[in-house]
Amino acid sequence: MVLNIARILQFGDSVLPVGAFTFSCGIESAISCGIVYDRQTLKQYVCTALLQAAKCDAVAQIQAMRACRSNKLNELKSIDNDVISRKLSPESRLMTQRMGKKLTELSAAIYPVRLFNWWLEQIRQSHVIGTYPVSHALLMHHLELDEEAMLAMHFYGVATTILSAAQRLMRITHLDSQKILAEATSLFPDYAEMTLNTRPEEMSSFSPVIDILAAVHVDAHVRLFMN
């Protein structure tokens, strides 16, 4: 139990070196367009992003972990393709690709086992994209963490990425950010239930506002974050 908690803390840390800090998940455009301007609208944006994650990336994580448990590693390739095909904006595809590769490289460096070396080679040879949800599921499987812990880590990562970016883009205190995070984490069980009740063929990342903001961000003249 103590070891599992330690691993959750390590790989759920917002400063994990996989490149998440360079992305904003569209919050930069949301703030510049006036859609997000205070604590309440920021919370709404975070919850929308969590809903999007629960219906897409988190579903892929569950399917990838179950494929690992069943030793059906070839299914990982189709799951990986399902994730990338549901990313509408170029930067969201770039984000999941870069973070997935960085996480796999990190995993292979810490735990030099066959699974990570195989997946990293698949990425380098362009046999797979190596999306973040699938790469994360491989690591969680190796660490023998359960599905609920994996989902909590994923949702936490989505929320903290947005809040960290917002902290540098708008007038909001650390106390406000932590209050939003506390309110958002209380909803994690609902998002997890949504994920577990979503069939693989129903996986979808469609969220009109976030997708439009991502498109606006691509052509922005001045940008602090990639997305």
Q: How far apart are CA 110 and CA 108, in angstroms?
A: 6
Q: How confident is the model at residue 103 (pLDDT cuts 50, 70, 90)?
A: very high
DSSP three-state, residue 142: helix
Residue 222 or 1, more confident: 1
pLDDT score at 224: 55
What confidence tens digit (pLDDT) does each residue in 14-73 have?
778 887 766 777 888 888 889 999 999 999 999 999 999 999 999 999 999 999 999 999
pLDDT score at 42: 96
Helix 132-142 and helix 90-110: axis angle, to 10°? 20
Q: Of how many residues is the chain composed? A: 227
Could you tell me which of 198, 203, 195 has the C-alpha nearest to residue 148? 195
Domains of the chain: 29-218 (1.10.4190.10)
Kind plus residue range of the DSSP H or E element containing 157: helix 147-167
* Spatial contact of 12 and 149, defined as CB atoms under 8 Å apart: no
pLDDT score at 77: 95
pLDDT score at 221: 43
- pLDDT above 50 for 4: yes
Least confident span in 9-18, 102-111, 166-175, 189-198:
9-18
Give the mean model confidence (pLDDT) for residues 91-115.
92
Q: How far apart are CA 215 and CA 219, in angstroms?
A: 7
* Spatial contact of 129 and 95, defined as CB atoms under 8 Å apart: no
What confidence tens digit (pLDDT) does each residue in 83-100 have?
999 988 787 888 899 999
Q: Which residue has the tokens 């129903």?
A: 202
pLDDT score at 51: 93
- pLDDT above 90 for 218: no
Angle at alpha carbon of residue 200, lines to 141 and 132, rounded to 5°? 45
* Spatial contact of 61 and 157, defined as CB atoms under 8 Å apart: no
Q: How far apart are CA 116 and CA 211, in angstroms?
A: 32
Does pTM surpass 0.85?
A: yes
* Spatial contact of 158 and 25, defined as CB atoms under 8 Å apart: yes
* Spatial contact of 179 and 40, defined as CB atoms under 8 Å apart: no
Instruction: For the chain, give the mean pLDDT.
Output: 89
- pLDDT above 80 for 148: yes
Q: How far apart are CA 189 and CA 12, in angstroms?
A: 17
Q: How far apart are CA 65 and CA 98, in angstroms?
A: 20
pLDDT score at 92: 83
pLDDT score at 214: 66
Residue 136 or 220, more confident: 136
- pLDDT above 60 for 188: yes
